[in-house]
Chains A and B, each alone.
Chain A
Amino acid sequence: MIEQVSVFLENKPGHLAELTRALANAGINLRALMLADTSQFGVARIICDHPRAAKAVLDSAGFGVSITPVLAVEIPDTPGGIADVLDVLGRAGVNVEYAYAFVEPGRSAAVDIFKVDDPAAAEVLTAAGINVIAPDRLYAVDTAV
């Protein structure tokens, strides 16, 4: 499992810019940003190079922040790549709450992020020969809080 930074955002102009500017000023590099919104508020989900430092920066900037464990899976750039992963999870009875994808620079495979309701999902995927990405490939794991 890897650490995703989840941020509560009121719907107001310029607010996401404030969030990303605060991270930029702290030298934190974003790898993926996904926004989920409701009519009342949004949640920004972020994969970055220093998740714990990002939480600390955003906490002190007054944002509501949680660290959420999510699965990162390498998906080959071929038809059916995601379907194979979802089949494995489905057979194991694992629910996917949300998913999004990004591509790492210089690589052909995509990284898919899955929020799942069962922490054992990583082992199930590994056993099925699917490449689950370890935290150290995406960010500095030893970042102090």
Chain B
Amino acid sequence: MYQPQYEAMPRNELEGLQLERLRTVLRRVYDNVDFYRRSFDAAGVKPDVGSLAEFVSYPFTLKDDLRDAYPFNLFAAPLRDIVRVHSSSGTTGQITVVGYTRNDIDNWADLMARTIAAAGGTPDDIVQVTYGYGLFTGGLGVHYGSERLGCVTIPISGGNTKRQVQVLKDFGTTILACTPSYALLIAETAKEMGVDLSTTSLRAGIFGAEPWSENMRLQIQELLGIKAIDIYGLSEVLGPGVAAECGEQNGLHVNEDHFLIEIVDEETLQPVPDGAYGEVVFTTLTKEGIPVIRYRTRDISRIIPGDCPCGRTSKRMERVTGRSDDMIIVRGVNVFPSQIEQVLTGIAGVAPHYQVILGKKGTMDTVEVRVEVAPDMDFDEIRGLETLQRRVRAEIESALAVSIAVKLVEPKSIERSEGKAKRVVDLRGEQQGA
């Protein structure tokens, strides 16, 4: 543990610390941000909350509130004190901008040092930071944590996959940080280059920024010969460093001394008991630049009940398998692309690369899942290919409870992403009534 005094703090002390920090942050936003002053007043709540239990009556903050505040209107510190900004990717509309004070950057480095240490990292490690550097939080987030822990930090950023493999091999990278889909591309590319990753020094990966399945984890672990650790974060709350798995790989420890986690029912928005699924809601306890109060992440998860053998006392959230932003609604059924991935990684003969094409025929939504055939398939066997196609279709339909079409496509024909994979193409707007 990098900071055992916080990571393994007795629960009653931790909750005391949370309440104290919560009062400070509520006062900070009430005094400095118009939006919060108005929303607290409208809800009839005061900044000096009496207890953590009382906090559930405070108003939520939504993604749209951040969009409306573009670019700096939710900042709680004057720009003189802001030393960095990042933004969300903005794939679903107006980007949202977040600002960090010097203290925020300092805390972030500690939290990412915790993350790398929880993955088994020490100052002896060599960390290849393949997350993108720039407005995206991934690259610089991991970078500062890796330096804080004392690792050799390779700021290679994303892209140029052959160079990634070359550097990984020549520099003796021990920990790789990137999206899980990019880790698979690196594995594929290494194979093409004749580099056997299992003979390199690589031993762990910290993967996040997109939902991934347990099957994909097993596949990455096997292909790269490493332990694959899930990390979680979002720019609105911090970036990477909000929660991360330990070596147990059984849930992500939330850094509760900095973030208050709640799970609420998606319909009633009331808290659910530990163990029950719901929408994840975060309140930042220490952030100065842009604190968020009861921010609804749209991510679906649950708190895993019980203690973790690793000794950390923090609550564990289950890996996020779907963000409700990624969720697609097909003929009234909620579908997460990660469910498709989970199916594909369990079928020999297809690669876990796929794309979902949504269309419209009359008033009916149509779903075509394009799936790559594995390159070592016997392509002369039409029956074999047809059987494969039917099997993929049947298994996806059974997982999603929606009827779909499956199109087998050529190996490596689906565009590989160097950041977050683009899994869904929605043509429904263009095909109205066709």
Instruction: Tell me the A residues contacting B by CB distance below 8 Å.
Output: 4, 6-10, 36, 38, 40-41, 43, 45, 59, 62-66, 68, 115
Would you call B124 an interface residue if the criterion is a C-beta within 8 Å of the partner chain's C-beta atoms? no
B380–A62 contact, CB under 8 A? no
A41–B380 contact, CB under 8 A? no
CA distance in complex: A10, B368 (Å) = 14
Instruction: Give me 28 A-to-B residue pairs in the complex whose CB atoms sit less than 8 angstroms apart, sorted by A's number.
Output: A4-B380, A8-B408, A10-B407, A10-B408, A10-B413, A38-B382, A38-B385, A38-B386, A40-B386, A40-B389, A40-B407, A40-B408, A41-B385, A41-B407, A41-B408, A43-B379, A59-B375, A62-B411, A62-B413, A63-B411, A64-B373, A64-B375, A64-B377, A64-B379, A65-B379, A66-B377, A66-B378, A66-B380
A40: B residues at CB distance < 8 A: 386, 389, 407-408
CA distance in complex: A115, B385 (Å) = 17
A12 to B: closest C-beta gap in Å:
10
Would you call B402 an interface residue if the criterion is a C-beta within 8 Å of the partner chain's C-beta atoms? no
A6 and B380 in contact, given A38-B386, A62-B412, A62-B413 (Cβ under 8 angstroms): yes
16 additional contacts, CB 8 Å, given A64-B375, A66-B378, A115-B380? Answer: A8-B377, A8-B408, A8-B410, A10-B408, A38-B386, A40-B386, A40-B407, A41-B385, A41-B408, A43-B385, A45-B380, A62-B411, A62-B413, A63-B411, A64-B410, A66-B377
B410: A residues at CB distance < 8 A: 8-10, 62-64
B413–A8 contact, CB under 8 A? no
When each residue 385-412 of chain B gets 1 if its CB lies under 8 Å from chain A and 0 otherwise, what string results?
1100100000000000000000111111
CA distance in complex: A8, B373 (Å) = 9
Instruction: Tell me the B residues contacting A by CB distance below 8 Å.
Output: 373, 375, 377-380, 382, 385-386, 389, 407-413
CA distance in complex: A38, B408 (Å) = 12
CA distance in complex: A64, B384 (Å) = 14
A32 to B: closest C-beta gap in Å:
14
CA distance in complex: A41, B412 (Å) = 16
CA distance in complex: A10, B408 (Å) = 8
CA distance in complex: A64, B408 (Å) = 11
B185 to A: closest C-beta gap in Å:
15
A45: B residues at CB distance < 8 A: 380
A4: B residues at CB distance < 8 A: 380
A119 to B: closest C-beta gap in Å:
15
A46 to B: closest C-beta gap in Å:
11
Q: Which residue of B lies closest to A8 (CB)?
A: B379
B404 to A: closest C-beta gap in Å:
13
* Of A9, A10, A64, most B-chain CB atoms within 10 Å: A64
4 closest A-B pairs by beta carbon, nearest first, are A6-B380, A68-B380, A8-B379, A66-B379
CA distance in complex: A40, B408 (Å) = 8
A57 to B: closest C-beta gap in Å:
15
CA distance in complex: A112, B411 (Å) = 31
CA distance in complex: A38, B383 (Å) = 10
B382: A residues at CB distance < 8 A: 36, 38, 43
A8: B residues at CB distance < 8 A: 373, 377, 379, 385, 408, 410
A65: B residues at CB distance < 8 A: 379
B413–A6 contact, CB under 8 A? no
